[in-house]
Amino acid sequence: MLALRDETFGGTFPFAPRYRDVNGFRMHYVDEGAGEPLVMVHGDPTWGYLYRRLIAGLSPRWRCVVPDHMGMGKSDVPGEPFPYRLHHHVANLEALVLGLDLSDITLIVHDWGGPVGLGFAARHPHRIRRLILTNTWAFAPWPGGPLPRLLEIIRSERGERFVLERNGYVEVALRGTTAHPERLEGAALQAYLAPYPTPASRLALLCWSRDIPLEASDPSFSDMRAVEDGLARFARTPALIVWGMQDPVLSAPVLERWRRVWPHARVRTIADASHFVQEDAPEEVLSAIEAFLDEPSHPTRGRWR
């Protein structure tokens, strides 16, 4: 049996593993291609595997840098600083990007990758050239309405048993928020489950849902508010929003909020896609990103449908 670091999941993730010591743990990342860097930041409960088709499609022309968050994917699972918080993940991404000395970055984010990636961007706006958002948020308090039942379970007292002992989160979350869960059969589902074979390997999965700030007393509320306040720095930065319209977690009102924050952004909506838009509609996501990257100039206003 291959070690996780060398596993390609039937050739669906053929990218060489790279590691960098970051804030006391080894952070795994993919670094494929050359040229302008595209930094792709995943959320919960995925890892860099989410971007496999984008890496394959974009790396012939751009440099694709795709990290795995602390405790996820092929990265280490440190015991400290558990519980992992938003500010830890922002600091980890910052250490990796600055260590690689990346600039002129096109930042691509999804889910919790939005607060993490945009938290880094707000600290280093001069390194950001473009922004690409896919079904994400960066607002305090939580803008998505009542939390889904699955997230409420994780935030409750029985969350430890559900996530750590029963491993009840990853598959349920993926199947429940994709429009085409049948596409997760085989290598894809295996890849998403592979990093979490034991209770000790699932620490990060327990932390993300519990870190969503709902009110000012929550630990990461002030950090999320700082990320939100930093969005104004990118009022003139070329931006693309690609949104799966069947998302039950971050639904259409959240997309409308992004449109108000960045009215200049291009918007591509995909009707037949849910929260994990990269799994439901990989070709559409890739084509929208390629068209955006290929624009000779970026108009101040515009919409794609």
Q: What residues are annotated to the active site?
A: 111, 247, 275
Single-letter amino acid code for the residue at 209: S
Letter for the amino acid at 194? A
Give the tokens for residue 290.
Answer: 């390629």
- CB-CB neighbours of 273 under 10 Å: 26
Question: In angstroms, rounded to a whole number, what is the distance separating the alpha carbons of residues 263 and 71?
Answer: 36
Handedness of CA 251, 256, 262, 267 (dihedral sign): positive
Residue with tokens 């989410």: 50
d(CA 235, CA 238): 8
* C-beta separation of 240 from 288 below 8 A: yes
